Amino acid sequence: MIKLQNIEKVYRTSSIETLALNNINLDVRKGEFVSIMGPSGCGKSTLLNIIGLLDAPSKGQIEIDGSPVERYTDKHLAELRNRKLGFIFQSFHLINDLSVIDNVEIPLLYRNTSAKQRRELAQEALEKVGLSNRMKHFPKQLSGGQKQRVAIARAIVGKPEIILADEPTGNLDSAMGNEILGILQKLNTDGATIVMVTHDEAMAKKTDRLVRLFDGTQVS
């Protein structure tokens, strides 16, 4: 489903060249739950951004469903992100000026979906994460765990095949973290392919496969 071949990412400034990723090869199959682990600064988030088509590699090839994406236009990439991928971030990235349900509806704004349909799908997604009673609340009125559940609802509202989670439990205590992992596992059981970046060894061990990075290089 996701295939990375010889991925290299170099950040260049006028004086420094930093190799963030070096010769990464990764094949994520449909329905897999893969976690990416490694110390801070090893390139985990960079790799996830590349998988999520938010960043382009300096070298190498990415294939999604067998199609290389290098030559895709901004419009095509945006459509792919919208239809195929769902994102969950460590810092939730909720828009504080919008209610929970309006936040969840965001991915559907970039599709031809009617307001009524958007509302129905958002309600359905919130029910899945157990937050249907908080629809009218604003992010500031929610706990960290609830915010992350809203972010998960937003990630799954468009029914994407792949969910990319960047340290989804990083800002939460262990109980809340387990609860979020439980939701992700349930989504995986329901058929979603999940790639999760984490620091937490215990969390990583609960996934199907573990990819370890060190200094931008894949070590396992």
Partner 1 sequence: MLQHLFKLIWNKKGTHSLLMIEVWAAFMVLFGVLTLIVFNLRNYLQPIGFQYENVWNLELSSNQDTTEIAAKLQRALQRVKAYPEVTAASRMSSNTPFSANQIGNSVEYNKVNVGADFYYTDTELANVLDLPLKKGRWYAEGDLVGKFVPVVINQVMEDKLFQNESGLNKVVKRDDKTMYKIVGIVDKFKGKGKYMSDNPALFQMLEKSDRWNSNILIKTKPGTDAAFEARLVKEVAVMLPGWGVEVGYLKDSRKNRENLTLVPVLIFLIVSGFLLTNVALGLFGVLNLNIAKRKGEIGLRRAMGATEAKVTTQFLGEIWVLATFSLVIGLIFAIQFPLMNVFDLDKEIYLIAIFAAVVVIYIIVTLCAWFPSKQAARIHPAVALHEE
Residue 11 interacts with partner 1 (CB under 8 A): yes or no: no
Tokens 């609860």 belong to 179
Stretch that binds partner 1, among 14-22, 60-68, 86-94, 204-212 (CB under 8 A): 86-94
Which of 15, 73 has the CB closer to partner 1? 73
Q: Does 107 bind partner 1 (CB under 8 A)?
A: yes
Asked if 1 and 196 count as a contact pair (C-beta separation under 8 A), the reply is no
CA-based nearest residue to 168, from 121, 140, 214, 206:
206
Taking the alpha carbons at both ends of the chain, their separation in whole angstroms is 20
Minimum CB distance to partner 1, residue 78 (Å): 4
Q: Smallest distance, Å, CB 50 to partner 1?
A: 9
Does 216 engage in binding with partner 1 (CB under 8 A)? no
Q: Where are the alpha helices (DSSP H) in the chain?
A: 44-51, 74-84, 100-109, 115-128, 144-156, 174-189, 201-205
Q: Which residues bind partner 1 (CB under 8 A)?
A: 45-46, 49, 52, 54-55, 74-75, 78-79, 81-83, 85, 87, 89, 91, 93, 95, 97-98, 102, 105-107, 109-111, 115, 154, 158
